[in-house]
């Protein structure tokens, strides 16, 4: 999602703890949702589970009514890169689906996504999901306090290209805190702006590489104004975490208890 407030903030210790709480709940939500993503379940059912669980814990889904969006998560299946709208589609054996969830906890945002398998998937699907997952964690491992945003993009583009995949450029990571989307923009490819921007301690942001099997180019569904697909109809995969840059290095705020950890092989 693209709208941002043009202000990045270095968080105080109390604010950092608030972001940790938001990330912790969001990771808990991802652990809850993951087992329900299986053959025959509709993407709208996944959305209802996200909505009900979040409200039951007295928090708020950030996407609900955000810029006119009417759902509590995004569900992006196969060639959908991002912003897939939950609906009547029932997941099929062999699908891949990215579930993107963002929670507002006491006014602070936690944001993450995972691409999940529905049964056994093709070798190509497994490879692009592995690449997206590895690119995220390689990028986290490449950054240090005061580093350039471009260090993220250089790491991701190099790894994806080495494996024969492409990196989406139109949609990027972002700063977050009390606002859903704010500076800095986190580019998953190196560019001039990324070489100028520094990740100072206290900055909170997402890294969320979108990796395509074929061309990097995208197409927006003009009928709904949200769904972004690969232009060539080939598969796309994504993983996302919320990161806090501390004085000692990056801290992942949206860890899960039961999800894949760095080094996981799909």
What domains can be seen in the chain, in order of their start residue? Answer: 13-249 (3.90.230.10)
Q: What is the mean pLDDT of residues 93-116?
A: 98
Q: How confident is the model at residue 8 (pLDDT cuts 50, 70, 90)?
A: low
Checking if the pLDDT of 3 tops 50, the result is no
Query: What is d(CA 266, CA 255) in angstroms, rounded to the nearest whole number?
Result: 18
Residue 9 confidence (pLDDT)? 78
Residue-level pLDDT at 6: 45
Task: List pLDDT tens digits, range 194-235.
Answer: 999 999 999 999 999 999 999 999 999 999 999 999 999 999
Calculated CA dihedral for residues 228, 169, 236, 251, nearest 10 degrees = -110
Say if residue 184 is preceded by a cis peptide, omega within 30 of 0: yes
Q: Is the pLDDT of residue 125 over 90?
A: yes
Q: 43: burial class by Cβ within 10 Å (0-12, 13-18, 19+)?
A: buried
Give me the percent of the chain exceeding a pLDDT of 90.
97
Mean pLDDT value across residues 18-36: 98
Place of tokens 């092989």: 265
| 3-class state of residue 102 by DSSP | strand
What is the pLDDT of the chain when averaged over all its residues?
96
How many residues can be counted in the chain? 266
Give φ, ψ of 222 to 5 degrees: -70, -20
> Within 13 A of 43's CA, how many CA atoms are on the CB side?
25
187, 207 contact by CB (below 8 A): no
Q: Where are the alpha helices (DSSP H) in the chain?
A: 13-33, 43-56, 123-142, 150-162, 192-196
pLDDT of 1 over the 60 cut: no
Contact 64, 51 (CB under 8 A): yes
Confidence at residue 64, expressed as pLDDT on a 0 to 100 scale: 98
Distance CA 33, CA 30 (A): 5
Distance CA 243, CA 174 (A): 10
If pLDDT is split at 50, 70 and 90, which confidence band does 190 have? very high
Paired strand residues for 104: 60, 109
The pLDDT tens digits for 44-84 are 999 999 999 999 999 999 999 999 999 999 999 999 999 99
| 8 Å CB contact between 100 and 226 | no
Q: For residue 112, give the 3-state DSSP assignment.
A: strand
């Amino acid at each position: 999602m693209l709208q941002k407030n043009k202000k990045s903030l270095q968080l105080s210790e109390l604010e950092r703890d608030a972001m940790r709480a938001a990330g912790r709940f969001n990771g808990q939500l991802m652990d809850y949702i993951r087992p329900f993503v299986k053959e025959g379940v509709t993407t709208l059912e996944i959305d209802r589970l996200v909505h009900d669980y979040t409200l039951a814990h007295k928090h708020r889904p950030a996407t609900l009514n955000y810029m006119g969006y009417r759902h509590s998560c995004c569900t992006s299946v196969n060639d959908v890169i991002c912003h897939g709208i939950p609906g009547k589609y029932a997941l099929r054996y062999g699908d891949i689906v990215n579930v993107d969830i963002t929670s507002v906890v006491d006014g602070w945002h936690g944001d993450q996504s995972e691409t999940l398998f529905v049964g056994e998937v093709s070798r190509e699907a497994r490879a692009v999901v592995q690449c997206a997952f590895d690119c995220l964690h390689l990028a986290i491992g490449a950054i240090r306090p005061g580093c350039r945003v471009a260090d993220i993009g250089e790491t991701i583009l190099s790894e994806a290209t080495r494996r024969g995949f492409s990196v989406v450029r139109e949609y990027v990571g972002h700063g977050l805190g009390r606002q859903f989307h704010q500076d800095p923009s986190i580019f998953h490819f190196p560019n001039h702006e990324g070489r100028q921007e520094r990740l100072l301690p206290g900055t909170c942001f997402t890294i969320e590489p979108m990796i395509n099997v074929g061309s990097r180019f995208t197409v927006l569904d003009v009928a709904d104004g949200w769904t972004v697909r690969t232009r060539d109809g080939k598969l796309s995969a994504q993983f996302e975490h919320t990161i806090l840059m501390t004085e000692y290095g990056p801290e992942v705020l949206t860890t899960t208890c039961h999800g894949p950890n760095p080094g996981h092989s799909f």
